[in-house]
A = this chain, B = another copy of it.
């Protein structure tokens, strides 16, 4: 490719600094073993030549690549904008810790596991970051069985698998949203959610339910639907046409909230005045139309993931009997309610 004929190597640096290559290696990997004076001399040469060890050679020798892999899901499966922010945060943090992020795609869990296998043997990956965990997740059990280091963005729903994870407290978020509405005097608060059995959706709905109950409200209406704007709109319409229509809608996602928002608007009503709507994810669409929404602290999630990985990969945790993750490696982060015109 490029002209890297004259790339500096450990050997060339050693020659220039009049030491053995081993000493150069030590300056980089174990500076405390090298005498101050020698170290400075070597460092000067490194600086001057711009020497950087070749990962391929290091990897071949040490079986560590400083690479972590993340799957990039099909657009639309996860909210793309959200995933992009997460990826960015993760990449930034990884870079700071000397890691790089490798991307791959897969369309289902089995394909993803297959990808792990290939990535592992091809690129000597150090670890994985998984998103979208769910009950009965085959990926986490596979990785555990193989003793591969990994962290998940998402709790180990329905399993007490002890792997490190970071997640956002969806129940807390919806509770906060609901309490915000209660404080504004709303007394009829519907929930527009996903069908039962989606772990994330159930968790979020619970937050709403808890807040309603805590306020001493009678049972409030709850409707389940796919994550689709039209369905959100239809559900909202149906509820508004009932005898005792809700004056507020807490939604499991921005997509559904936008549906409710659209229906309200199209009736000539004003979101936030005539009926409140709150979404989840704080997408740019929410910002665009003035939709109040629950924002996930993706930077913090990425941080937590990397802290956990750091522990997993630091000396002492290798070998097939990797140590159990400490409580600090299960991080539940609080989302933030971003109040806009709609609620």
Contacts and interface: CB of A to CB of B under 8 A. Distances in A.
Interface of A: 1-4, 7, 50, 52-57, 59-60, 63-65, 67, 72-75, 79-81, 83-85, 87-88, 91-92, 95, 100-105, 118-124, 126, 146-149, 229, 255, 258-259, 262, 265, 268, 283-285, 287-290, 318, 320
Contact of A1 (B55, B75, B126, B288): B126
Contacts of A92: 105
B72 A88 contact: yes
A71 to B, nearest CB: 9
Contacts of A4: 63, 120-121
Contacts of A84: 72, 75, 80-81, 83-84, 87
A101 B103 contact: yes
Going nearest first, the 4 A-B pairs with the smallest beta carbon separation are A285-B285, A56-B59, A80-B84, A84-B84
B56 A60 contact: yes
Given A63-B1, A88-B105, A285-B284, A124 B55 contact: yes
A335 to B, nearest CB: 17
Contacts of A88: 72-75, 105
Contacts of A287: 229
9 contacts: A2-B320, A7-B121, A52-B118, A52-B121, A54-B121, A80-B85, A87-B103, A88-B105, A258-B288
Contacts of A285: 258, 283-285, 288-289
A124 B88 CA distance: 22
Contacts of A258: 285, 288-289
A317 to B, nearest CB: 9
Most chain B CB inside 10 Å of its own CB: which residue of A64, A75, A265: A75
A87 to B, nearest CB: 6
Nearest to A63: B1
A59 B320 CA distance: 28
A236 B34 CA distance: 68
Contact of A123 (B64, B100, B147, B268): B100
A322 B52 CA distance: 26
A237 to B, nearest CB: 15
Most chain B CB inside 10 Å of its own CB: which residue of A79, A91, A285: A285
A123 B55 contact: yes
B72 A3 contact: no
Contacts of A67: 102
Nearest to A90: B103
Given A55-B124, A80-B84, 18 more contacts: A1-B147, A2-B148, A3-B320, A4-B120, A50-B121, A54-B60, A60-B60, A72-B84, A75-B81, A79-B81, A79-B284, A91-B104, A101-B103, A102-B102, A102-B103, A262-B289, A268-B268, A284-B285
A61 to B, nearest CB: 9
A146 B3 contact: yes
A147 B3 contact: yes
Contacts of A102: 67, 100-103
A73 B120 CA distance: 27
Nearest to A52: B121
A303 to B, nearest CB: 15
Contacts of A85: 75, 80
